[in-house]
Structure 1
Amino acid sequence: MSHSITSIVRAIKDSALAKLRITAANGEILHIDSIYKESESPSFFLVFAPHAFPKDAEVKQKCSVAISSGEDPITLTAVVESFKGDRSLEMRAVDTIDPVSLREYFRVTVSTPIHASFQPTEEDTRQRPWQAHGTTIDLSGTGVLAVFPIEFENKNNIFLDLTMPDGSQRVSCVGRVVRVKKLRKARYQIALHFEHISRKNRDIIITACLQEQRRQLRLRMESM
């Protein structure tokens, strides 16, 4: 193990907020909130809220851990070493991940208004304009999952207007549909990837996700 990764893990503050990205036995990618606890570096522990961690996750698999430590979050590639009861994992860090990729991991479950619309170009008369108001399910710096009352007539060049979770800011960007699931009561769960978004707006979303993650985790830990 390199001296650098050992030093990085040793410098992380005990009880920092963390998010684990792990693959369940059925192949589903899970993002789970936790608390970082110190051990002998490069090993560390993650502590979860009751019933938050899947019992069928495999030991020795590699996963990602994003930790809110200091001003800049740290993302580690780590191996699951062992289970410590039903609420704690022993982990071993093997590498760090480029901070630019952090936006992929900071996805939060949040319900906030979203407006989607499409406006065809003058050259394309076969398509028609439409718009729909929905509610987000989760949000990250690269995309959003939301529920809408209609299925979109187009898959690309969808204009999106999102209200941040605290209601203080709104962000606009252009996205494309990556997945659609029909729900009951004529509703559609639609996943969208942000295709064209300014750096400023992406940073606003990432900051909002981090703030919301901290808020939700504190609430969970206070109720334990």
Structure 2
Amino acid sequence: MQQLEDFFSQVKDQKAVRVTLPLSNSVPKERIHCIFGAATPPAFFLFFQEGVLPSTLDAGKSCLVTVDLGGQAKSVTANITAVPDEQTLQLEAVQVISHEQARNYFRVDAHTPIIATPVNPLKNVAEQDSWHLEGETIDLSGSGVLCVFSQPLEQGKKVRINLTLPTGLMHTIESIGHVVRCEKIEEAMYHVGFHFDILASEDRDKIMASCFELQRKHLRMKVQVKNSL
């Protein structure tokens, strides 16, 4: 309960957040940017742009709300208690999930494909470590990335990371990194944090440029949602 109290004391009304919504016709959940609306904790609201809230929303399942609090990503699992209209959800927070992040670079919400593979696959096919994970990012910075995979990865494991930047020319960035954390959120959903250990300077510049562009986009989205309410 104390964690929930701390969470609500830090999240300001009208703050841009990201929610992972359960859909009735699909196993993967949909991740959407929206605006946090304060209420009496543990209750709160989420406000969406017109036409964004999925018609296939499964209100009987829990969702995950992620917010950036001073360079630290925090999430709460929440139950949907009401759908007042086509742009609003009323929810009740259940549990706080905290993601300790490297703070060398600011991070932004970023939803884009990511692939993790072995760093040095063996030439002998019979012995090759042939795992291959495809997922989506949650947030991105010049020092690392937080993402969602359907399977876990061992903390400290070295991996090759292929990341498609979500803006501009959609450049593909390749890096060697390691797993800094892996947390099971629910069945077949793991939050995995990577730190970039080897990353070309020009690729880091591209990541940072993408982060700045996303930050501007999120600010514009916040204004648009507020004006439509």
Q: Scaled by the length of structure 1, what TM-score is found?
A: 0.57
- The structure that has the greater radius of gyration is 1
Partner of 2:220: 219
Cα distance in 1 for residues equivalent to 2:177 and 2:196: 13
Runs of 5+ consecutive residues of structure 1 not aligned to the other structure: 127-136, 146-156, 176-192
CA drift at 1:22: 1.6
Cα distance in 2 for residues equivalent to 1:95 and 1:216: 29
Cα distance in 1 for residues equivalent to 2:208 and 2:97: 18
Retained in 2: the 8 A contact 1:37–1:47? yes
CA drift at 1:40: 0.8
| 1:97 partner SS | strand
Retained in 1: the 8 A contact 2:110–2:166? no
Q: 1:45 to 1:174 in 2, by over 3 A?
A: same
Runs of 5+ consecutive residues of structure 2 not aligned to the other structure: 102-107, 127-134, 139-144, 150-157, 179-189
Please say if 1:173 is aligned against 2:181. no
Partner of 1:69: 69
Retained in 2: the 8 A contact 1:16–1:69? no
Cα distance in 1 for residues equivalent to 2:92 and 2:212: 27
Q: 1:169 to 1:56 in 2, by over 3 A?
A: closer
| 1:217 partner SS | helix
Partner of 2:14: 15
Identity of aligned residues (%): 18
Matched AA of 1:19: R
Which 10-residue stretch deviates more, 88-97 or 205-214? 205-214
Matched residues, number: 178
CA drift at 1:24: 0.5
Q: 1:206 to 1:63 in 2, by over 3 A?
A: farther
Retained in 2: the 8 A contact 1:43–1:91? yes
Partner of 2:52: 52
Which 10-residue stretch deviates more, 4-13 or 60-69? 4-13
What is the alpha-carbon root mean square deviation over aligned residues?
4.8
Cα distance in 2 for residues equivalent to 1:143 and 1:217: 19
Matched AA of 2:55: K
Q: 1:201 to 1:216 in 2, by over 3 A?
A: farther
Please say if 1:108 is aligned against 2:110. yes
Please say if 1:82 is aligned against 2:116. no
Q: Scaled by the length of structure 2, what TM-score is found?
A: 0.56
